[in-house]
Amino acid sequence: MQVTRQRTYAIEAAAIAAVAIAAAVVLRPHESQVAALTVIFALAGIGLNILVGYAGLVSLGHVVFFAIGGYGWARLSEIAPVPIAFLVPVLISLAVAAGIVVVTLRVAGYYFGITTLAIGLLSVVVVQNAVPLTGGHAGIAGIQQLGVPGFAGPDQVLVIVGIVLAIAYFLQSSLRESPLGTAMLATRFDLAASRSLGISITSIKFLAFMISAVPVTIAGAFLAQLVHYIGPDQFSLEASIKLIAIAIIGGRGWRWAPILGAVVVVTLPELLRPLAEYRLVFYGAALAFVAIFMPRGLSQLAVWVRERFGSHRRKAAI
């Protein structure tokens, strides 16, 4: 059972990478810009999906890791080799994540939400005002990107992030089957019961938060590469809410949630160009609607479709 699931995930991950590469070949530059943006947010969504879907912690402050990734790449790629420009921001993110866990160790539920929102707000203030580091309101322009032979412009980012997303997807899905993932799910649904089984809530919370920071940081670095410019607008509180919205709209804990959630939150609004002003209203409404009427997000829809049209051999996976 375990092995066949792993194999399914590996095949699905390969399919994700194949779709991203095919999209890079087929799409026109503007379209692949949108596709790359979607894939970047899906990658970040994987972090949030692990945090909120597996461990049950709603973070409204993950923009801080997004910003560390983006500004880290922007500054380091000029002076250091590529692996360092990725690795150092990830390490900084892990250190910051550890600090946040120490602060929020004693709280859960509402207070965790409030505290992470406060951290998000602090991150926004820092981004706007730490001028030597972030360029303040002017931001940083002319950021380098990784090259892929045979592709040009946004296609290069799309190919690389597509492959990274596939890897992250495989790890995310496998984590759910692992003892650590099972322990996380246990703490999400019943704190007392999981404690009585000998699960250390503190270390689960710690690990979940640390793990969730990594894909968000890497996604931030790719966002900087995709648009060649970063500024406070990209790392606002709205971005923070967008990140959590992806996991919630997709369906907390479902393995496809980050990708489908990113399609709803990033791609759909881009398609509704004429209504650009109402883009944010749309995703606010999507958030409220899902929270109130569709608590399991798009996964609920998927279950419904499968029960209605699919084979009856397999029952709902969620």
Partner 1 sequence: MIDIAYFTIIGLCIGCGYALVALGIATLFNGSGVLNFAQGDIIMIAALYVAVRTTSGENYLVAALEALAIVLVVCALIGLLFVKPAVSRHRDIDLIIIGTIGISTILANLANNVLGSETYSLRSPITDLAVQLGSFTISWDYFALVIAAAILFAGYLVVYKKTDIGLQMRAMSADVDAARYSGVQVAKLTVVGWLIAGFIGTFAGLLLGSVLLVSASMGVPLTISGFAAAMIGGLKNPWGAVLGGAIIGLAETFAAGYLGTAARQSIAPMIIIGVLLLLPRGILAARGARSRVV
Instruction: Tell me which residue of 124, 5, 153 sits closest to 60, measured CA to CA.
Output: 124
Please pick, from the candidates 21, 36, 43, 52, the single residue that binds partner 1 as defined by CB under 8 A: 52
Q: Are strands 229-230 and 140-141 parallel, antiparallel or unpaired?
A: antiparallel
Residues 250 and 256 sit within 8 Å (Cβ to Cβ): yes
- Between residues 165 and 243, which has the closer beta carbon with respect to partner 1? 243
How far is residue 161's CA from residue 169's CA, in Å, rounded to a whole number? Answer: 12
How far is residue 159's CA from residue 20's CA, in Å, rounded to a whole number? Answer: 6
Please pick, from the candidates 88, 146, 201, 237, the single residue that binds partner 1 as defined by CB under 8 A: 237
Which DSSP helix (H) or strand (E) runs through 299? helix 297-309
* DSSP H helical ranges for 105-190: 109-129, 131-134, 154-177, 179-189
Within positions 239 to 258, which residues make up the interface with partner 1, using CB under 8 A? 241, 244-245, 248, 252
Instruction: Tell me which residue of 290, 265, 253 sits closest to 38, measured CA to CA.
Output: 265
285 scored as a contact of partner 1 (CB under 8 A): yes
- Between residues 111 and 304, which has the closer beta carbon with respect to partner 1? 111
Please pick, from the candidates 37, 58, 76, 262, the single residue that binds partner 1 as defined by CB under 8 A: 58
Residues 124 and 235 sit within 8 Å (Cβ to Cβ): yes
Q: Under rule CB under 8 A, how many of the chain's residues touch partner 1?
A: 46
Stretch that binds partner 1, among 7-15, 69-77, 89-97, 272-280 (CB under 8 A): 272-280
- Between residues 138 and 281, which has the closer beta carbon with respect to partner 1? 281
- Between residues 26 and 288, which has the closer beta carbon with respect to partner 1? 288
Q: How many angstroms separate the Cα of 316 from the Cα of each of 46, 186, 239, 306?
A: 21, 19, 32, 8
Please pick, from the candidates 15, 25, 82, 103, the single residue that binds partner 1 as defined by CB under 8 A: 103
What are the backbone angles phi and psi of residue 27, rounded to the nearest 5°? -70, 155
192 scored as a contact of partner 1 (CB under 8 A): no
Cβ 176 to partner 1 shortest distance, Å? 18
44 scored as a contact of partner 1 (CB under 8 A): no
How far is residue 115's CA from residue 246's CA, in Å, rounded to a whole number? Answer: 20
How far is residue 64's CA from residue 182's CA, in Å, rounded to a whole number? Answer: 27
Please pick, from the candidates 21, 199, 290, 298, the single residue that binds partner 1 as defined by CB under 8 A: 290
What residues line the site for partner 1 (CB under 8 A)? 52, 56, 58, 60, 103-104, 106-111, 113-115, 117-119, 121-122, 125, 128-129, 237-238, 241, 244-245, 248, 252, 277-278, 280-281, 283-293, 295
